[in-house]
Amino acid sequence: MKPEERIIVALDVPDEQSAIALVDQLPQVGFWKVGLELFTSTGPRILELLKSRNKRIFLDLKFDDIPNTVAGACRSAARYGVDLLTIHTTCGRDALKAATEAAQSGAAQVGLKPPKLIAITLLTSISARQLAFDLKIPLELPEYILEMALLAKETGVDGAVCSPQEVAQLRDTCGNDFLLVCPGVRPIWADMGDQKRSLTPAQAMQAGADYLVIGRPITAASDPGLAWQSISEELTAIA
């Protein structure tokens, strides 16, 4: 892939009108993330609109429920023809296995390629202190994330979402066939926002990330097209 094809731009807007305006403003972007806010507002219509423009889709709904429920959700989502789909590793081994099988069967029912199922290891807004004191997890943060990624790999999940700071360790342990998707990426000129474990786009890619999910540094910029170009050039320089 070309470096710019590894950037997934987060379509974190509240409604269809805002989403389409942003997509039209950035025609050079080929891969968009649709999250909870937008999907709850528009339903699958936003996916249909993106597909009609030949865009790739990262459907980031972070399913987390009992095995039967997440299987049903993944089966339905796979019928939309999305490229990436997220599920929390905390739903457990049985649910992860069920989700993987359901995504494949759902896509097969409508003659589509199944989405890559991507496991959430730990939200990038959570710090090591919060993991220990708020969530009461006794493991160190890197160890916890590694255990979650290994669980995902063992159950047939295609990859994991992790912060850029964990990419190198997961790449070394999980291998080159395990997709690593990194949100929380921030160019050196961008505000950190609510991200606690961030790196620059170039640093994340050099560490072994397959895809970078970037939202506000592009979408909230005074000139989104210029911000996109700047990040693309940063990645091209290290390719």
* Residues recognised as catalytic: 62
DSSP string of 99-137? Answer: HHHHHHHHHHHTT-PPPEEEEE-S-TT--HHHHHHTS--
Tokens of 228: 């996109």
Contact 2, 31 (CB under 8 A): no
Question: Six-digit token pair at 56?
Answer: 């790739």
Beta bridge partners of 60: 35
Longest dimension (CA), the chain: 47
DSSP bridge pairs for 179: 159
